[in-house]
Amino acid sequence: MDKYLAEMSVGTRNEVKKIIKSGQVTVNGIAVLKPEMKVNEETDKVCVCGTDIYYKKYVYFMLNKPAGYVSATKDNKYKTVIELIKENNKSGIFPVGRLDIDTEGMLIITNDGALSHKLMSPRKHVDKKYFLVAEGSVTDNDIKQIEKGMDIGDDKITLPAKVSDIKHYTDNKGIWTSMCLTIHEGRYHQVKRMLWAVGKPVTYLKRISIGKLKLDEKLSPGEYRQLSEEELKLLFTS
C-alpha cells in the first residue's frame, strides 16, 4: 500500500506510511492501518482522506528544458533532464527524443514507450517547430532551399520544411536572423546542420511545439508540469 500510494504521488514512502497508520486510508470502504497491506490497483477502491486514488500507469510531463542539461536518463559528465523532475517515483521515466545540451524548450518526459515511438519515429513525420537565432542574414534563396529539402551531408536530402516569422536585425556584433522552422524528422543536429548548410550558424535554439502541442510559455526554463487530458489528446492525435 505505501509503495502504491507513493507511486501515485500521494507523498513520500515515509509520509504515506504515517497517513496509513493514522487511519486515513480506506480500501473498499474499510480503513487499513498496515502499510505492507497488498493492494490490487485495478480492482480495489482506494481513498486517502476521503479522496479517491485512481491508478495511473503512465505519467506525462512537459518540461521547458534549460541549456546545460542532456536529454538522457543517466550521464557521467553532465546533468540530465531527469534530475529536474522532482517526483517521488521517477522509475521508468525518460525524455521523448533528444534536444542538444545547448537547446532549450519543450521536452516530453514519460514512461510511455509507445507514445515516444509515435512522436519520434522517422516514418510518422510528426512536426517539430523551433524558434532560432542565426548569425548573418538568412536570404530568400536560403529559405527556398530549406523549405524544398536540402543536402546536409546525409544519404538523403531533408524532407520539405517550413520557415515563418522571419526577422532580421543588427547590433554591434553584426547581422542576425530570428525565425521559426518546422521540420518533420529528427535527424542528429538537424536544425543546426540545415542552417549551417546555408552558411548561417545557429546561436540559439528552442523547441516551441511538437505536433499540435505548444510549449507552455508560463514554464520558465527548468520548470515542468503534468500534461492535462486535453493536451494528451493533442499529442496522441498529432
Give residues in contact with ligand URA (CB under 6 A). 99-100, 103, 189-192, 205
Nine-digit cell string for 227: 500534461
Q: How far apart are CA 203 and CA 132, in angstroms?
A: 8
Least Å from the CB of residue 213 to ligand URA: 16
Least Å from the CB of residue 183 to ligand URA: 8
Q: Please, which residue, 99 or 138, has the CB nearer to ligand URA?
A: 99
Least Å from the CB of residue 209 to ligand URA: 13
Least Å from the CB of residue 123 to ligand URA: 18
Contact 41, 57 (CB under 8 A): no
Q: Please, which residue, 89 or 145, has the CB nearer to ligand URA?
A: 145
Among the listed residues 44, 100, 102, 127, the single catalytic one is 100
Q: Is 100 a catalytic residue?
A: yes
Which regions of the chain does DSSP assign to beta strands (E)?
25-27, 30-31, 46-48, 51-53, 60-65, 69-70, 79-80, 94-95, 104-110, 128-135, 162-171, 174-183, 202-210, 213-214, 224-226
Q: Please, which residue, 33 or 157, has the CB nearer to ligand URA?
A: 157
**Cα–Cα distance list, 31 to 3, 28, 48, 192 (Å):** 17, 9, 10, 58
Q: Please, which residue, 46 or 107, has the CB nearer to ligand URA?
A: 107
Q: Which residues of 131-155 are buried (b: 16+ CB within 10 A; e: fewer)?
A: bbbbbbebeeebbebbeeebebeee
Least Å from the CB of residue 132 to ligand URA: 9
Q: How far apart are CA 57 and CA 213, in angstroms?
A: 22
Q: In the block, which residue shows the cell 542565426?
A: 134
Q: How far apart are CA 22 and CA 229, in angstroms?
A: 33
Q: Please, which residue, 192 or 200, has the CB nearer to ligand URA?
A: 192
* Residues with a known catalytic role: 100
